[in-house]
Structure 1
Amino acid sequence: MNPGFDEGDFKKARGMLLSFSSVLIAIWFFGADFKSMSVLGTKIAFTQNTQHIWLVALAVNSYFLLRFYQHSPGASYSDNKIYKNTFESFLIKSTRRLKKGEMKEDFFRNLNKLGGQGSENYKLDIVRESLSIVNNPNEQRKFIRGIAWVAKFHIRGDYRNSDATEIKLTPATEFSYPCSYWLIVLAIYRAKVLANVKTSLGTEYTMPYLWSGWATAICISQWLAVNSIDLN
């Protein structure tokens, strides 16, 4: 959290940003006249440089956006329980599905080393699963900065010794599988979306940025249109 955070200033900055952005969006959507305004009951009409009104609105909106950023407490997704639980759960379940065949092969390869044979009607049982982080300096990844996620599964199953017909249950053995990079990226974005939907993170922190971004896009497009500037 920002060491200079003040909840009162944060709420004011958020309120001003949302209010001004909402006014800009409403003016654009309903086609209101942006060439005059009323101050303390006195109507003021703009007569010069009216083609740059949207540019001025963009500057003011950018100022409110900067104030909101400065007074934001700097909320982190890593501190959000919904994000953490959703990310880890999705990564573990997806890796379990993707590595199902490989798990089976690794399990019986381990049995062969121990002198055992799989039973005819065997069933593998995952008794525990977890996720861990391994620092990998050789991987410079965009989102995780060289940190690799590894899914760990403790598996047990039926087996029999080569000289016996009695079916036994193996003790749980740990098997580790590095998570695919594309799966990590998918898990990150999925967890962020759900964290914004299920907690106040979305309405208090993310929504003002999105709302202001929409207003900014409107200001730029309207200013370009009024001044007949073709970017093509």
Structure 2
Amino acid sequence: MSQQEIDLLKNLNHKNIVKYLGSLKTKSHLHIILEYVENGSLANMIKPNKFGAFPESVVAVYIAQVLEGLVYLHEQGVIHCDIKGANILLTKEGLVKLADFGVATKLTEADVNTHSVVGTPYWMAPEVIEMSGVCAASDIWSVGCTVIELLTCVPPYYDLQPMPALFRIVQDEHPPIPDSLSPAITDFLCQCFRKDARQRPDAKTLLSHPWIQNSTRRVLQSSMHHSGTMRYIS
């Protein structure tokens, strides 16, 4: 973690953002203290030796919290730039925390977007690859890739090497969407994967999408009949 990441994190305060607690600098090292998030990352949880792919309803509960975190970040003028399962942490209560702000960008009024390639290839939005500017909508594209990752255990184009994958992201109308998905989640993904970043809905709009609304309502109602939060994955 860099000093730049510390400066950004220390000013963020939201339940869905990993909390910065302090730092200690020595002659040779910079030690960072962050809140402990017990269950680790969602990428780790979907490994075959753990839980494997999540059902749509559970993905909706997690993605809703990711979107809540993004609403806050984007209101602060911060673009995460690296949304993916490995950077989404989970507490034992089922609370999602966005982590790893190493490539996050703080936008100023004078700097509407940034013209650099940042992020991880398979989750990267086309405008980032083409260096036409990172924007808040770039995080939304990555949310779509993360939904597919949580449903299938791998992001779109994972069967390709990074460079061919980047080419396909730019060239294809949208990343491949599994045929087995419900119409509601398919529509959600199609909105995340609009090639023109200006046409992608923002995080607040996606929170009211029927897939998010209906799925989270069902899961939360179901969890009320059990002890603990979503006991089948906690």
Q: TM-score range by the shorter chain?
A: under 0.3
Computing the radius of gyration from Cα coordinates, the structure with the larger value is 1
Question: Larger relative contact order (C-alpha < 8 A, sep ≥ 6)?
Answer: 1
Greater strand percent: which structure? 1
Normalising to structure 2: TM-score of the pair?
A: 0.22
Normalising to structure 1: TM-score of the pair?
A: 0.22
